[in-house]
Each structure stands twice: as C-alpha cells, then as structure tokens.
Amino acid sequence: MPTPRRTLALLSTIACVAVLGLTIPASGADPSHDPDSWQANSVGGDEENEEVVANPAAVTASCGVERWAVKTGTDADAGKITLQSTSTSTIASLTSLPAPASLPANNRVQPTETTVFRLSATLTQYKLETDSDFHLVLSDGAGHTMIAEIPDPACVGAGSPLASSVQKARSEFTAKYTPTSSFKTANVPVTITGVGFFDFLHGQTGVAPNGIELHSVLDVQFGGGGGGCTAAQLLGNPGFETGSASPWTTSSGVINNSSSEPAHSGSYDAWMDGYGSAHTDTVSQQVAVPSGCTTYTLSYWLHVDTAEPTTTAYDTLTVQVNGSTLATYSNKDAASGYVRHSVDLSAYQGQTVTVTFTGTEDSVKQTSFVLDDTAVTVG
C-alpha cells in the first residue's frame, strides 16, 4: 500500500530543516548602498534620465548604458537564452515574480532572463526614448502593466543572437506607428514576444512593481497575434522543471521532486492529492490560444497511484478549460507508470483560456494524481 503523503511530507520537512542554509541581511542594511541592488535606483527621475552613450548611427544618436549588454544579448550569459522555445505567459504572472536582490551588469537572472516569453495584451502607449529604444506600455486590463522595449538595431552589438529578431520587431512596429519623444496612445491588442528582463526602478511609465520587462522584444503582432499560424508550444514551465509553480497557479505543496512519486522526465512533477483524507488540489495556467492554426492540442502525462479499490471511482481528477470539463480520471485509472493523454482545444482558438487540473480525494485511502510534461501545441 502506498505511504500516505502526509507522512512523507513530515519526513521531508525534518530533512529540509537539517540541511537548509539561509542568508539573512542585517536588519540595518541599506540596499541603496549596493550599486547592484534592485532597489538602488528605485526612486526619483523617469525614463529620460537614463545614462546614454553617443552613437551617431542610432535614431537619437545615443544608446543605453545600464545593463545594456543584458538588454541586447551581448552579455556573458547570452548563449543561455532559450531562443528555440517560447513560453506563453501573462502580465499578471510576470509581475508576480519576486524581484531579484541584485541586478548584475553582465549576467542574467535565471531562469527569467534566459526565457523567451509571449504575451497577449493591450498596447496602451508608446514613445521613443533618449537611448533610441521604443518604450511600449502593456496592460492586461485588470490593473497590471509592464514595459516592453525594442532597441535600435544600431545599439545591438555585433554577435548578439538577438540582432536579427530585434531588427524584425523594429520593422514590424514602424510599419504601423512612428514613435516620437512624447508618449502616444494606441490602445490596440498585441502579441509581444521577447526576452525576460529585470530593470532598475526609476519612475518609468508603465513599470511593473518588480521591474520585469520584455527587453529585447523579438516579435510584434498587432491584433492579438496577426494572421497565419506559427507552430508553438504555449504553456510556461510545462514540466515544472523550474522547481516552482510560476506561471502555474497551484495548491501548496504540489510541485514535487520526491522519489516517492518521480517525474516522467527531468526532476519535478505536480503531485496532486495522496493524503488519504478529504482533500482537493489544483494546478492551473492561463494561456493565449492563437487563431489561424490547423491543430490545437492539450497533452499531458499522468500517473495515478491509489490504495482504493479500482472497481469504483472514489477519487477523481478533472481537466477543465474555462470551467468546462474535457476529461475525467479516477482511482480506477491507476497504473504502474505514466500514461499520455490529449484533448482537442480547437473550440478555444483566438481566446485566452485557463487550463485547470483538479484532484479530489474522499475521506479514506489515498489516490495520487501525478502530472508532468504538459503542453498546449498549435500548428
């Protein structure tokens, strides 16, 4: 009989207490005294006061300085950017990420600054900055805003893996708008693809509380995604390999790397239920589903482990999209390993939807629903 999860959780907690080391700053420490601190430049000024360096080839004859190598892909970690894959996210998810304690000038805060994100949002305002960037203010309509920036290609150093995409994004934007040194209002839907980046806070218009931006922007599609279809996998953190939930929203304790319920691949999975008492766990993520594609598929690997009889469904897992149930599993589906499942999402093209997995146990005998290697693929 499988060991109830509450026993495993207690043993895990005892082990963690024995080995965990924490560094806590002195109560009187002032982060503004550290030039690399995220808070060091968090007061006063606006985007016009950033330091610049002369570059006659740039549209304002100037390029930026602050973390410029990271912004434009000439830093020491540029080769770690996952340009081969794109993680669909939301402004709400990105703005909820913890702000880094420091922002190195020539290295990236991983995994956020090595991830290429895709956002569907409203472009509310835009302008040309003194460092020749196009400054885009993005909103989700629910009170969350963040900035995306398109550098001048003349300010992107030779050898940057971002150079050709920055050039393309700049051309896509100028085909529709002509930014000037004053903010202009747009209020149009866009899908923006770009590299995650944490900026210092200095009063920028539209800045997120944690300083998260997309910088550099690699692609701009107006109208929420443009025409045609680009084959892609749309879920962020699909195999939970960051070791944390974001951009998923999960119940406490669901993200797991215990050998008691090992992952399908990698080290982490999402272990729902397994307590042997009345309990409900959820795992959900919002995703923008483009239109114009031929196939739309939600797939996932599921392992069901139970102490219940397998003749009657006592404990269940439902798979829902926007509240509609597309699949249901139970203790009757118990198996020794993972099984791949898929459902069709064609009915949701052109919509922003929430994919939710909900595991529900009754009051006796555990059933564990272990999820891994999820994907929303379009093509």
Which tokens go with 298? 């939600």
The answer to whether the CB of 190 falls within 8 A of the CB of 177 is no
**Residue 12 in this model has a pLDDT that exceeds 80:** no
Could you read off the pLDDT of 328-366 as tens digits, one per residue? 999 999 999 999 999 999 998 888 889 999 999 999 999
Out of 228-232, 312-316, 320-324, 343-347, pick the least confident: 228-232
| Helical (H) or strand (E) element with 171 | helix 163-174
Q: How far is residue 98's CA from residue 118's CA, in Å, rounded to a whole number?
A: 19
Q: How far is residue 269's CA from residue 244's CA, in Å, rounded to a whole number?
A: 10
The answer to whether the CB of 202 falls within 8 A of the CB of 49 is yes
Q: Predicted confidence band at 59 (pLDDT cuts at 50, 70, 90)? A: very high
pLDDT the model gives residue 108: 97
Domain 231-378 has CATH 3.40.50.10190: no
pLDDT the model gives residue 10: 43
CA angle 257, 261, 263 (to 5 degrees): 60
pLDDT the model gives residue 379: 80
Q: How far is residue 346's CA from residue 344's CA, in Å, rounded to a whole number?
A: 6
Q: Give the number of other CB atoms < 10 A from CB of residue 76.
A: 13
pLDDT the model gives residue 352: 84
pLDDT the model gives residue 49: 63
The answer to whether the CB of 376 falls within 8 A of the CB of 298 is yes
pLDDT the model gives residue 23: 39
pLDDT the model gives residue 211: 96
Which tokens go with 189? 């839907």
CA angle 168, 172, 176 (to 5 degrees): 160
pTM of the entire predicted model: 0.53
Q: Predicted confidence band at 33 (pLDDT cuts at 50, 70, 90)? A: very low
- Residue in this structure with the two tokens 């795992």, named with its chain if needed: 283
Give CA separation, 324 vs 234, 284, 344, in Å.
20, 13, 13
**Residue 320 in this model has a pLDDT that exceeds 60:** yes
Q: Predicted confidence band at 2 (pLDDT cuts at 50, 70, 90)? A: low
Q: Check residues 38 and 302 and name the one with the higher pLDDT.
A: 302
For the chain, what is the largest distance between any 2 Cα atoms, rounded to a whole number of angstroms? Answer: 76
Out of 10-14, 57-61, 351-355, pick the least confident: 10-14
Out of 42-56, 174-188, 247-261, 277-291, pick the least confident: 42-56
What is the SS3 string spanning 219-286? Answer: EEEECCCCCCCCCEECCCCCCCCCCCCCCCEECCCCEECCCCCCCCCCCCEEEEECCCCCEEEEEEEE
**Residue 35 in this model has a pLDDT that exceeds 80:** no
Q: How far is residue 371's CA from residue 369's CA, in Å, rounded to a whole number?
A: 7
Q: Predicted confidence band at 81 (pLDDT cuts at 50, 70, 90)? A: very high
The answer to whether the CB of 151 falls within 8 A of the CB of 195 is no
pLDDT the model gives residue 356: 97
Q: Where in the sequence of the chain do the CATH 2.60.120.260 domains occur?
A: 231-378
For the segment 24-49, the average pLDDT, to the nearest whole number, is 38
Q: Predicted confidence band at 80 (pLDDT cuts at 50, 70, 90)? A: very high
pLDDT the model gives residue 294: 84
Q: Check residues 294 and 63 and name the one with the higher pLDDT.
A: 63
The answer to whether the CB of 42 falls within 8 A of the CB of 35 is no
pLDDT the model gives residue 229: 64
The answer to whether the CB of 330 falls within 8 A of the CB of 266 is no
Q: Where in the sequence of the chain do the CATH 2.40.50.140 domains occur?
A: 33-222
What top-level class would CATH report for the domain 33-222?
mainly beta
- Residue in this structure with the two tokens 């399908």, named with its chain if needed: 264
pLDDT the model gives residue 24: 35
- Residue in this structure with the two tokens 């300010």, named with its chain if needed: 155
Strand pairing report for 145-150 and 212-222: parallel
Q: For residue 100, what are the contacts with CB-CB under 8 A and spacing of at least 6?
A: 38, 109, 198
pLDDT the model gives residue 8: 52
Instruction: Work out the mean pLDDT of the chain and round it to a whole number.
Output: 86
Out of 7-11, 39-43, 98-102, 308-312, pick the least confident: 39-43
Which tokens go with 234? 């749309």
Q: Predicted confidence band at 41 (pLDDT cuts at 50, 70, 90)? A: very low
CA 185 to chain centre: 27
